[in-house]
Amino acid sequence: METRLHREDLTLPAAELGAENPLPRLVRPGHVQQVANIDELPAELAGNIAYGALESLLPCRIQDGYGREREPRALPALVLENSRLRATVLPGLGGRLYSLVDKENDRELLYRNPVFQPANLALRNAWFAGGVEWNLGSTGHTTLTCAPMHAARVAGPDGSPILRLWEWERTRDLPYQLDFWLPPGSAFLFVGVRLRNPHDHDVPAYWWSNIAVERGERTRVLAPAESAWHYGYSGRLDLVPVPEHDGFDLSYPVRHRQAADYFFEIPDAARPWIAAVDGDGLGLAQVSTARLRGRKLFVWGESAGGHRWQEWLAPGAPGYLEIQAGLARTQLEHLRLPAGESWDWLEAYGPVQIGSAVHSGDWAEACAAVGEALPHREVDARLAAWRPVADSEPEEPLFAGSGWGALELARMGRSLPGTPFGEPGADQRPWLALLNGETPEPVEPPPGTLVSEPWRELLENAGENWAIWYHRGVARWHAGDRSGAVAAWTASAELTSTPWALRNLAVAAGLDGRKSEAAALLAEALVRAPRVLPLAIEAVTAALDAGRPGHAADLIGLLPAELRAAGRIRLLEARAALGLGDARRAREIFDAGFEVADIREGETSLSDTWAAIQDALGESRELPEHYDFRMKAERP
């Protein structure tokens, strides 16, 4: 069978992704991982951890408009298939490799999520489990994980079709591409990856390929390493032996009580690879060329919270784990991509069938059994064959991504071979006008602000209206000029009092410790935009933080019914009731049932509020399972 590339719809029970949050994220991402013992680490590792941490998600907006209601929806899919493998890619969702089927053995090699259900785990909030996710940008799930990518057909070096995807990552302003290549008769899918730095300055680079596989009772994860860097909820990064650590064999995921990361310390001279196999030695292997040096095992753990999270992400499906591959040895690091340079590498994904040797009590023997079955030389040869076509122009467009790359290239006055970004679209139109020397007309809510230095200069030199002052404030804030940002938002509000400038002034006041002022500004903003759920959440939360539960309850009472029914508002209503001394009302809200669709990994607001209710009532009722997202300890 010759390799075929075609488009089809993948119909799944799926939640709506919903609209982006119109409120700019002005605070540093709170879920950025910290290393408590950085002074104890080797100099190179510590230096990479200290370098390049993402200080802001701007210009990206938060994706928190999803819910938990699912109905059958058709998701665009692109399928690359030969006689041995069938690969399904979702171009509208970050280019996720959703499925990889071993046709000879009729086996799914990846964890194939039976639903599309976003949850709050990515940098921009919305994330979904399963398949292979391509993470560019910074520590955390990429800003593009629930966003479209450009896709097209390209002729491969052997004449078979290559599926190319590309986009512009906006927090780092880096273009990148993925070339999926499945030669006729190949048992491995090859993925060529290229990162480009088109700027005249260095850029922090981060990449991890996040591979989800099913977790069984005898699943074992192997990599060519005798030690690994362990990172858990303590925030410490510690080198531990592999596979025996803390009294158990860490290579068997079901033996972990708590969620944890293990970054394998692969020797420089060793070929980097990782595999997950079942009790019969069957499974998936990933191997790459040398640049992609890091390998990781992530486990949710066997705690109640770990099981709850997996059910939350994939209702009704078996559990899963993640094996990952990255540029650095850990996900806490960023590397320096020099000005004008590009990096590329090749990854290979395919089945392995090892047998009982993979469960040998001799770790080196088990790893050798896997390593000998992998196509190491072929990966090097395929990289050399792929590089000459990496700049080839696409033959047939298959899917449209965003217009942000087109806008940035228009500003820079250049193009990139092999990845045509087309023309700016509707989202880019106001900024294209600014680039052309015009002053865009104000719209509500204002579009997301472009904040890099060239755009900030254009804003500072533009004509004046309330929207320009608003955007100037956001760009100044991103540049570290907080007083200038406050002055700009004040000027915006003086020209036209909008909820958007008031809200940003409230954020500034709250960060300065002026909680009552922040609460008052947000309440005023909410009066002007009473149907904006993110604004309602911020306003009620600010009232509670200012020690004004009565005000919080009053704000909730003024909300439209559909906003009052939102899970996050129901939780805030319970907290307000507690603050007013009405613990029975708070318990009634919990007993009636609600879901906080965007509860964050590691967030304990549900369990903390329940514990406060129990203390106030003198009760000792166990936290209901559907509210239990705790990851640090077993339920008492």
3-state secondary structure 417-449: CCCCCCCCCHHHHHHHHHHCCCCCCCCCCCCCC
Q: How far apart are CA 492 and CA 486, in angstroms?
A: 10
| Helix axes of 533-545 and 567-579: crossing angle, nearest 10 degrees | 20
Query: In the chain, what are the domains?
Result: 31-54+123-391 (2.70.98.10)
Q: How far apart are CA 405 and CA 4, in angstroms?
A: 29
**Three-class secondary structure of residue 229 per DSSP:** strand
Could you tell me the two tokens for 504?
A: 């940003």
**Three-class secondary structure of residue 73 per DSSP:** strand
Region 87-93: mean pLDDT is 98
**Residues whose CB is less than 8 angstroms from the CB of residue 480 and which lie 6 or more positions away in sequence, other chains included:** none
Query: Can you list the alpha helix ranges (DSSP code H) found in 283-362?
Result: 304-313
Q: How confident is the prediction for the chain on average, in pLDDT?
A: 96
* Structural Rg of the chain based on CA atoms: 25
Q: Which of 525, 529, 452, 450 is nearest to 493 (CA)?
A: 525
Residue 497 in contact with residue 468, Cβ under 8 Å?
Answer: no
Q: How far apart are CA 355 and CA 409, in angstroms?
A: 52
Cis omega before residue 445 (within 30°)? yes
Residue 26 in contact with residue 14, Cβ under 8 Å?
Answer: no
**Three-class secondary structure of residue 543 per DSSP:** helix
Looking at residue 292, its amino acid is L
User: Running DSSP on this structure, what letter comes out for residue 114?
Assistant: S
* pLDDT on residue 290: 96
User: Running DSSP on this structure, what letter comes out for residue 356?
Assistant: G
**Residues whose CB is less than 8 angstroms from the CB of residue 204 and which lie 6 or more positions away in sequence, other chains included:** 51, 52, 138, 172, 334, 335, 336, 337
Using pLDDT thresholds of 50, 70 and 90, give the confidence band for residue 222. Answer: very high
Residue 375 burial by Cβ neighbours in a 10 Å radius (0-12, 13-18, 19+)? middle
Could you tell me the two tokens for 620?
A: 């000792």
Residue 516 burial by Cβ neighbours in a 10 Å radius (0-12, 13-18, 19+)? middle
634 pLDDT higher than 50: no
The percentage of the chain sitting over the pLDDT mark of 90, rounded to a whole number, equals: 94
Residue 150 in contact with residue 167, Cβ under 8 Å?
Answer: yes
The CA distances from residue 402 to 52, 94, 448, in Å, are 25, 11, 14
User: Running DSSP on this structure, what letter comes out for residue 28?
Assistant: P
Q: Which of 227, 215, 192, 209 is nearest to 283 (CA)?
A: 215
Q: How far apart are CA 233 and CA 444, in angstroms?
A: 41
User: Running DSSP on this structure, what letter comes out for residue 339?
Assistant: T
Residue 48 in contact with residue 334, Cβ under 8 Å?
Answer: yes
590 pLDDT higher than 70: yes
Could you tell me the two tokens for 322?
A: 């993640």
Residue 570 in contact with residue 535, Cβ under 8 Å?
Answer: no
Q: Which of 335, 334, 340 is nearest to 199 (CA)?
A: 340
Query: Can you list the alpha helix ranges (DSSP code H) found in 453-604?
Result: 453-460, 466-478, 482-495, 499-511, 515-528, 533-545, 549-558, 561-564, 567-579, 583-592
CA 156 to chain CA mean position, Å? 30
pLDDT digits (tens, 9 = 90+) for 3-41: 999 999 999 999 999 999 999 999 987 666 789 999 999
Q: How far apart are CA 117 and CA 364, in angstroms?
A: 39
Using pLDDT thresholds of 50, 70 and 90, give the confidence band for residue 635. Answer: very low
* pLDDT on residue 551: 98
Q: Which of 565, 560, 615, 620 is nearest to 592 (CA)?
A: 565
Instruction: Tell whether pTM > 0.85.
Output: yes
Which position has the token pair 């070339």? 179
Q: How far apart are CA 123 and CA 134, in angstroms?
A: 13
- Strands 282-288 and 273-277, bridge-based pairing: antiparallel
Label residues 142-168 b or e (16+ Cβ within 10 Å = b): bbbbbbbbbbbbbebbeebbbbbbbbb
Q: How far apart are CA 92 and CA 147, in angstroms?
A: 6
Q: How far apart are CA 33 and CA 331, in angstroms?
A: 9
pLDDT digits (tens, 9 = 90+) for 189-211: 999 999 999 999 999 999 999 99
Backbone angles phi, psi at 324, to 5 degrees: -140, 160
Could you tell me the two tokens for 393?
A: 């122009």
**Residues whose CB is less than 8 angstroms from the CB of residue 343 and which lie 6 or more positions away in sequence, other chains included:** 194, 195, 205, 291, 327, 337
Region 166-194: mean pLDDT is 98
Which position has the token pair 């903390």? 608
* pLDDT on residue 31: 63
